[in-house]
Structure 1
Amino acid sequence: MTPIEVEGLHKSFKSKGKAIKTLDDVSFTVEAGQSVGFIGQNGAGKSTTIKILFGALRADTGRALLMGRAADDPRSRQGVGYVPENPYLYDQLTPREVVSSGLRLHGITGQENHQRTNHWLERLGIAYAADKRIRNLSKGMTQRTALAHAFAIKPQLLVLDEPMSGLDPVGRRQVADLMQEYRQGGGTLFFSTHILHDVERLADRFVMIHKGRIRAQQSIADMLASQNTLVVRYYGASALPGFVEDAGMIWKGICERTQIPTTLTTIAANGGTLLNAHPQNSLEELFDDIVSGV
C-alpha cells in the first residue's frame, strides 16, 4: 500500500467573482517508509494539498488517496498522525485531555493511554503544563500539544504542515530530533516546511511546488551526490589560495570533490578549523533558481 497518492489535483477558489487557480495538475506519491519534504513559498499550494488529503477541502478534479482509501473516507485517517499549520484545539481542554482523547479515538484506552499521554507530554516538554487550559498556553505550547497528540498514537503515517511554526530554537531542535527518530524507526513521514536545511537533514526526497504546480521531485541524496563542487568554510588566521573572507577570520572557497582531502589537510596544517563543507548547489540554490525563473 502506498500511504499517499495524489494524481492530477486541480483546485480553484473564487475571489471577487474570479476563479483563482491554487492547484494545477498536482501529482506525487509518498511510499511506505519514505520521508518526503513538501516545499514551496507561502501560497504555493502546500496547505491546500494537505487539506484535500485529509478531507477538509474537495479538489475540483483529480484523485487523492490516504492509506489506500479516498481522502474523503474517514477510515483513511485511522492510524495517521496529522498536525496542521495552525492547529485548532478546544481551548477549554488541557494538554493531557487533548492527547488522551486523541488516543481513545484511535482505540487506545486504560493504562496504555495513561502511559502514552504522560510519555509524550514529557517528550515534548509540556508535562509541567499538562493540566492548564489550552486558552492559557502560548502558540508554541499549543503547537507542542498538537505534536504530542500526533506522535502518541504511534502513527503509520505522520503528516506535519509547518511543524516548526511557533516554536523557539530549543523546541525546533527537539521536534526535528523526534522527526528523525520516527523516520529512522521506519515510519512514513510527509512534512511541509520553509526551512530547507530541515528537508536536507530529514527527508529522503523532496517535492517542490510553485504557483500551484509541481516543479521538481528528486532524491535528496541524488541531488547532493550529483554536485562535483563543494563550498568549504574554515576558521583561521589567513586565507588559503583561492579562498575569500566570509566573516571575521572565517574563509570560504570552492573546491572540486577530488581536492577535498588535500584542502582539509592544508587547513589543519595551517592551524585552521573546518566549519563546514557542503555541495555548492544545495536545495536552497535549486529552490531560488526555480522560483526566480518561473
Structure 2
Amino acid sequence: MSDPTGILLVDKPGGITSHDVVARARKALDTRKIGHAGTLDPMATGLLVLGVGPATRLLTYIVGLDKTYTATIRLGQTTDSDDADGQIIARAASSALAAVTDERIAAGVAALTGPIAQVPSRVSAIKVDGRRAYALAREGAEVELKPRDVVVSRFDVLADRRGDGCRDLDVVVDCSTGTYIRALARDLGAALGVGGHLVALRRTRIGPFDVADAAPVDALAETPLRTASAAAAAVLPAVRPDAEQAADLRHGKRVSGLADAFTGPRAAAIAPDGTLVGVIERRGTGPAALVKSVMNMPEEHA
C-alpha cells in the first residue's frame, strides 16, 4: 500500500496548537510527512491546510494566498499580547469609552482598510536576531518589530455590543498573507484612544479553500484527502500536457507548445491520466517560449 498523499482541510478547535493538529494527523494517517500552510494561535479556531506526503510540496503555493477571518475585538482594554491570552495592562475610563461613537469606529476601521504598514504583535513568531519575538517578549526583552506592508481588502463590523467597561465588535476581515488580526485590534483601539485586543478569532478561508469543507480533528482518519492535482488546479491555472510532454517535464526537460496555455508566472501541469506532473514556469517570451517544471510530484505518488 502506498503512503498517503494529498491535501487535508482541518477545522482546528480552540485550546490546542497547530502543531497538535499536525501530530494528530500524523497518527490518524500513519505518516510522519505532514506540513501546514500557516499556523493558528491556540486561542484561534478554523481552517488549517495540511499537506500530506509528497503533496507537502504544494504548500509553498498555498501559504501565500489571501485569507478571511471572523473575529471579536474588545475595545476598552489593552493586553500585553494584543489578545485574550495575555494580561490586561490598561483599562479605558468609562468616559473615554462612552465618547467612542459609531462614526469614530467607522473612521478607524476605514483607516485600517486597504494597503497599510502594520507593526506585527510583539508576541508574534517573527524572528528577531534568530529568535522568535514571542520568546524574547516572555523573557521581558524589549521587542521592536518593523512595519510590514499588508493589504486589508475588507474590514467590516458585523455586530456591536456594549459591556461592563468594554465594547465588543464582531468583524470580518479579508487580508493578504502576513496580516495580524491581533494587530488590527490593537491599532483600532489605539486610534480610538481606549485600547483594544482580540478576544476571538476564526479563520474561514485560505485562497479557494473554505472551512465549511474542513474536517474536525476527531475525524481525520476517515476524511478523504484532496488529490494533489485537484488542489494544484484550485490555486494555479491548469494545463494539460500530452503523455510525451508530461514525461519530459518529469525528467526536467523544457517543453514547447504549452506556454500559451496559461497566463501568469506558473501553472499546474496535469497528465492525461489526471495526476499532477508538477508546477511549471514559462521560460522565454513569444512563440518560442518554453515551459519547465519547477516542482515535480513523484510519478509513483502522483
- For the criterion TM > 0.5, the same-fold answer is no
Bigger strand share = 2
Bigger helix share = 1
TM-score by length of 2: 0.24
TM-score by length of 1: 0.25
